Structures are given as C-alpha cells and as structure tokens.
C-alpha cells in the first residue's frame, strides 16, 4: 500500500504501525510503500500502476501479460519498499513518547477522597 511520508491527513506512522501488527500473520500480507512526498494520496500514475502490479504479483505469484507490459514501461526504481529508516524514526518517536509519559507520571499527587 503506497503512502506519502508527509501526509497531512493520515500520518505515515499509521501505516507503519499497521504493518508491524500485520507482520506476524505472514510475510508479504502487507507491503508499505513509502512515497517521499507531501500531501494526502499524492501519487503519480506510475506509482499507482507499480503499486497495483506489486499487489497482483504478491497475490498470484506472477503478473498478467497485459500488466507486465505496462510495468515494463515504468520506472520501477521509483518504488522503495525499504522501511528501515522509517521504522527507526518511529521507534525513536515511541521511545520519546514513553519517556514523556513516565516523566509526567512521577510528579502526580493522588489525594484520598472520602465520600460520606
């Protein structure tokens, strides 16, 4: 599934979290394709066709001849499925969130409430 990395409507991190949750179900069930661009669903026609071709190949094991000829004309290098830098950034954000939550919880004062 393609997702622009600077999506202002649905954050890219949501796709990464979904991918991390779906991974134990089996490799290849979810493929996140980061598109380094601003905007919600701001894809080029070539990125859409290539993403669909990747989906068909994963589902069937091969591309139909008509789709293979379309893909051959496109620049397949424009789709990068290496999520490593994005996952590292996500882990850093989650670690910082956890640290902030722990810092915020140590200074809470709980007063007993007596209800009569």
Assigned domain for 98 exists: no
Assigned domain for 29 exists: yes
Give the domain range for residue 43.
2-85
Tell me, what's the pLDDT at 9?
A: 92
Tell me, what's the pLDDT at 109?
A: 62
Assigned domain for 99 exists: no
Tell me, what's the pLDDT at 96?
A: 74
Helix 12-22 × helix 84-106 angle, to 10°: 100
Assigned domain for 109 exists: no
Assigned domain for 53 exists: yes
Tell me, what's the pLDDT at 25?
A: 61
What CA–CA distance (Å, rounded) separates 108 from 40?
Answer: 39
Low-confidence ranges of the chain (pLDDT < 70): 23-29, 73-83, 93, 101-111
Alpha-carbon dihedral sign for residues 21, 26, 30, 35: positive
Tell me, what's the pLDDT at 74?
A: 67
pTM of this structure: 0.60
Length of the chain: 116
Total number of domains in the chain: 1
Rounded to the nearest angstrom, the gap between the alpha carbon of residue 50 and the centroid of all alpha carbons in its chain is 17
Looking at the chain, which runs of residues are DSSP E strands? 2-6, 33-38
Tell me, what's the pLDDT at 11?
A: 87
């Amino acid at each position: 599934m393609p997702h622009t990395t600077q999506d202002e409507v649905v954050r890219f991190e949501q796709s990464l979290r979904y991918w991390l949750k779906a991974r134990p179900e089996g490799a290849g069930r979810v493929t996140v394709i980061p598109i380094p661009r601003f905007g919600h669903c701001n894809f080029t026609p070539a990125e859409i066709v290539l993403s669909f071709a990747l989906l068909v190949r994963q589902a069937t094991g091969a591309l139909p001849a008509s789709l293979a000829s379309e893909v051959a004309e496109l620049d397949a290098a424009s789709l990068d499925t290496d999520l490593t830098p994005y996952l590292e950034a996500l882990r850093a954000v989650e670690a910082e969130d956890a640290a902030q939550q722990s810092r915020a919880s140590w200074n809470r004062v709980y007063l007993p409430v007596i209800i009569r």
